[in-house]
């Protein structure tokens, strides 16, 4: 074994390619690990892969990792004030690192995973931040951070390709989706419209009610403001996003919000959608309190019905949460909004220097641990958390910031206390939906066919009254 180690070290020192075809970056990481294990060289470093726009690099940090040093290093290197985000290899999770506490939690999560891959960070220029200037007080070399050679590997090339592809899908595009697109008519965005009151502001932009002058109907429009539309990378992302929105506009189901097309101007992207008069489920909970179990069951069944349709088309939502469940007030009906767009919007906002505030409280543990990509079973976990929020007005660990909650979700039993009025059948269904083993979670179709969702409203009401 020592001979093999020596040969590998010698090969690396002579810059010879490894016999297994590994890249230089992989070789460097292997050699460091071998030195630490067999030659007694203690390399107490955190290995990081960094992306800023189209540029990718690798650095090694001395432990304990210092947030101030890391932030200063990036500022000096790129001459800009940058926001720092942690992400997974699939880009299904994006958490902003704002301080030392956030960084400590992310490193704790990474260490617990036992991953041999580098921890991934994405940098984004802060919107309206002044140009950074080096002064005597901030100039200098940060000795705790070492730049290492970085070679574009098959993995990173694949990640670029996947980021450019339609991000709303999982697996291969289904024949049913092809049929839906062929049979559907793509709604055209309004050519003459008037902007009305602001309905709300979220991570990806502001939503307004608008009036379509041509049809005399009300729509909702999500506005995402652009800082620099001439960026090649941004133009590519916007083109992919417009393709997705136009594709999704052909889809129709009673429990998904209808897209109405997209328009681009020199400084803004306008996404037109069906106007939901009752606002979001989040707003209802914040205004009126907990949802009674009977109504929560009805709403959850409607959410699952919309997901069953999307999943049958190989579309995974990725961002199910109460603020993305929209309501018609009369008759009461809920619909899933923002389906299929979360990943593309994250990428666009990061290009624009928008501080994206993620909501990992709804994210499944396998996604946080980076052990599995977002898929239909991850959506089911998110529905379970939304149902818990309906019944209790809060998500598990709602008091924790995003950087602190990810470790809890990944490695600790989920903690919540349901009201006494919630019957056993509902408690058991919730437990099935947030099971930690994705393969054992029922899918949307199985849940809708279960005894819990098949029983009549009167029968369930009697169960609630018997508590």
Catalytic residues: 319
User: CA torsion, points 253, 259, 261, 267, in degrees to nearest 10?
Assistant: -170
Mean pLDDT calculated for residue range 344-368:
74
CATH of 183-274, one of 1.10.287.130, 1.10.3720.10, 3.30.200.20, 3.30.1330.30: 3.30.200.20
Question: Which residues sit in the known binding site for ATP?
Answer: 223
Q: What's the confidence (pLDDT) of residue 253?
A: 94
Lowest-pLDDT range of 15-19, 188-192, 392-396: 15-19
| Whether pLDDT at 18 is above 50 | no
Lowest-pLDDT range of 14-23, 26-35, 246-255, 355-364: 14-23
Contact assessment for residue 224 and residue 271, using Cβ atoms and an 8 Å cutoff: yes
Q: What's the confidence (pLDDT) of residue 182?
A: 57
**358-395 b/e with 16+ CB inside 10 Å = b?**
bbbbbbbbbbbbbebbbbbbbbbbbbbbbbbbbbbeeb
Q: What's the confidence (pLDDT) of residue 459?
A: 94
Pick the closest to residue 343 from 215, 167, 205 (CA basis).
167
What are 119's strand-pairing partners? 48
pLDDT tens readout for residues 296-335: 999 999 999 999 999 999 999 988 999 999 998 888 899 9
Contact assessment for residue 296 and residue 391, using Cβ atoms and an 8 Å cutoff: yes
Name the residue ranges covered by the structural domains of the chain.
44-164, 183-274, 281-465
Contact assessment for residue 434 and residue 381, using Cβ atoms and an 8 Å cutoff: yes
Lowest-pLDDT range of 22-36, 247-261, 271-285, 426-440: 22-36
Instruction: Count the residues in the chain.
Output: 467
Confidence class for position 89, pLDDT limits 50, 70, 90: confident
Question: Which residues sit in the known binding site?
Answer: 223
Tokens of 3: 């001979």
Pick the closest to residue 364 from 292, 447, 436 (CA basis).
436
| Angle between the N-to-C axes of helices 100-113 and 67-78, in degrees from 0 to 180, rounded to the nearest 10 | 100
CATH class of 44-164: alpha beta
Confidence class for position 269, pLDDT limits 50, 70, 90: confident
Please, what is the Cα angle at 230 between 229 and 235, to 5 degrees?
70
Q: What is the pTM of this model?
A: 0.82
DSSP state of 189: P
How many angstroms separate the CA atoms of 40 and 87, rounded? 32
Confidence class for position 371, pLDDT limits 50, 70, 90: confident
| Whether pLDDT at 17 is above 60 | no
How many angstroms separate the CA atoms of 381 and 409, rounded? 11
For residue 331, cis peptide bond before it (omega within 30 degrees of 0): yes
Lowest-pLDDT range of 143-157, 351-365, 445-459: 143-157
Q: What's the confidence (pLDDT) of residue 354?
A: 57
- Please give the CATH architecture assigned to the domain spanning 281-465: Orthogonal Bundle (1.10)
Confidence class for position 187, pLDDT limits 50, 70, 90: confident
Mean pLDDT calculated for residue range 70-87:
91
Concatenated DSSP letters for 256-312?
BPPEEEEEE-SSEEEEEEE--TT-BHHHHHHHH-PPPHHHHHHHHHHHHHHHHHHHH
Q: What's the confidence (pLDDT) of residue 299?
A: 97
The DSSP bridge pattern shows strands 45-52 and 119-125 to be parallel
- Helix %, strand %, coil % for the chain, to 5? 40, 20, 40
Q: What's the confidence (pLDDT) of residue 174?
A: 54
Concatenated DSSP letters for 203-248?
TTEEEEEEEETTTTEEEEEEEEE-S-TT-HHHHHHHHHHHHHHHHH
Average confidence score pLDDT of the chain: 81
Confidence class for position 406, pLDDT limits 50, 70, 90: very high
User: CA torsion, points 269, 274, 277, 282, in degrees to nearest 10?
Assistant: -60
């Amino acid at each position: 074994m020592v001979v093999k180690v020596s040969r590998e070290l010698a090969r690396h020192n002579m810059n010879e390619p490894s016999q297994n075809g590994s890249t230089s970056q992989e070789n460097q990481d292997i050699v460091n690990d071998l030195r630490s294990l067999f030659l007694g060289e203690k390399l107490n470093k955190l290995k990081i892969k960094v992306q800023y726009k189209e540029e990718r690099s690798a650095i090694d940090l001395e432990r304990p990792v210092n947030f101030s040093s890391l932030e200063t290093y990036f500022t000096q290197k790129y001459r800009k004030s940058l926001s720092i985000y942690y992400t997974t290899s699939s880009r299904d999770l994006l958490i902003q690192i704002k301080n030392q506490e956030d960084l400590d939690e992310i490193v704790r999560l990474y260490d617990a995973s036992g991953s041999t891959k580098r921890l991934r960070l994405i940098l984004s220029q802060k919107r309206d931040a002044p140009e950074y200037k080096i002064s005597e007080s901030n100039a200098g070399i940060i000795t705790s951070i070492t730049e290492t050679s970085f070679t574009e590997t098959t993995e990173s090339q694949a990640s670029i390709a996947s980021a450019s592809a339609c991000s709303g899908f999982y697996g291969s595009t289904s024949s049913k989706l092809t049929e839906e697109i062929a049979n559907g008519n793509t709604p055209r965005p309004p050519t003459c419209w008037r902007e009305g009151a602001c309905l709300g502001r979220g991570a990806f932009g502001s939503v307004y009610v608008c009036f379509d002058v041509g049809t005399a109907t009300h729509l909702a429009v999500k506005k995402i403001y652009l800082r620099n539309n001439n960026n090649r990378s941004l133009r590519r992302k916007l083109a992919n996003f417009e393709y997705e929105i136009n594709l999704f506009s052909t889809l129709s189901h009673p429990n998904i919000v209808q897209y109405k097309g997209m328009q681009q101007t020199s400084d803004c992207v306008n996404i037109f959608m069906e106007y939901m008069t009752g606002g979001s489920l989040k707003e209802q909970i914040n205004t009126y309190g907990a949802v009674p179990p009977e109504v929560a069951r009805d709403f959850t069944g409607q959410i699952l019905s919309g997901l069953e349709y999307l999943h049958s088309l190989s579309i995974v939502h990725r961002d199910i949460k109460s603020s993305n469940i929209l309501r018609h007030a009369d008759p009461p009906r809920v619909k899933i909004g923002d389906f299929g767009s979360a990943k593309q919007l994250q990428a666009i906002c990061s290009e624009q220097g928008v501080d994206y505030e993620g909501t990992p409280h709804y994210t499944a543990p396998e996604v946080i641990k980076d052990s599995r990509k977002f898929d239909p079973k991850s959506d089911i976990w998110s529905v379970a958390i939304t149902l818990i929020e309906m019944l209790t007005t809060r998500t598990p660990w709602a008091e924790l910031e995003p950087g602190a909650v990810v470790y809890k979700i990944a490695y600790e039993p989920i903690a919540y206390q349901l009201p006494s009025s919630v019957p056993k059948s509902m408690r058991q269904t919730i437990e099935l939906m947030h099971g930690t083993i994705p393969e054992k979670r029922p899918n949307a179709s199985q849940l809708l066919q279960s005894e819990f969702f098949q029983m009549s409203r009167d029968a369930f009401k009697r169960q609630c009254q018997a508590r």
